[in-house]
Structure 1
């Protein structure tokens, strides 16, 4: 169950970075809406990480959480913010995913 909390926390991390990017592009009161989403996603992400680390090893949980956030944020950047998707960027995204899967595989929980 704590792996589910950790994955959800990583997804909320993607949410808060996406809201931050959208707030940068927004104008007027819409900016505050995106910053509100940022704060809500940040709170949920941290709360889920805290819950997951109650039973999962801290180093593994943090690495997986940040990995999910990093991969997801890069993919959101490519898909929605028109960031480049060159060979090396995609290659290193896949190596990061392989590392996250490897950490899950060697974890005793």
Structure 2
């Protein structure tokens, strides 16, 4: 169950960061609500996951999901760079997260 909580925490982190980007583009109540709900749920689910998973593993995977997820959201919805090296480095982050899962 801890891994599911960690995945939810990472997805919530992406939602929160998307809310932050929305605030920078258009300050409205919905943008602030997306940020708040995303961040609160992200930290809540991360704390649930850390009850069973080592802190280093949980934090590394949580930040990896947030990093790659936010990068993909930026590419898909906010016209950020699609440079091939950016994709390669995102793949490296995913590879590192898989490696941490395999040795846990």
Interval of TM-score (by shorter of Structure 1 and Structure 2):
over 0.9
1:11 partnered with 2:8: no
1:54 Cα deviation after fit = 0.5
Q: Which of 24, 31, 36 matches 2:33?
A: 36
Q: Report how many aligned residue pairs link the two structures.
A: 104
**Structure 1 outlier segments of 4+, above 4 Å:** none
**Aligned CA-pair RMSD:** 0.8
Q: Which residue of structure 2 aligns with residue 87 of structure 1?
A: 84
TM-score in terms of structure 2 length: 0.96
Gaps of 5+ in 1: none
Query: Per the alignment, in what secondary structure is the counterpart of residue 98 of structure 1?
Result: helix
TM-score in terms of structure 1 length: 0.92
Gaps of 5+ in 2: none
1:86 Cα deviation after fit = 0.7
Query: Per the alignment, in what secondary structure is the counterpart of residue 89 of structure 2?
Result: helix
1:14 Cα deviation after fit = 0.2
Query: Per the alignment, in what secondary structure is the counterpart of residue 78 of structure 1?
Result: helix
Taking the TM superposition and a 5 Å limit, the aligned residue runs for 1:21-100 are 21-27=21-27, 31-100=28-97
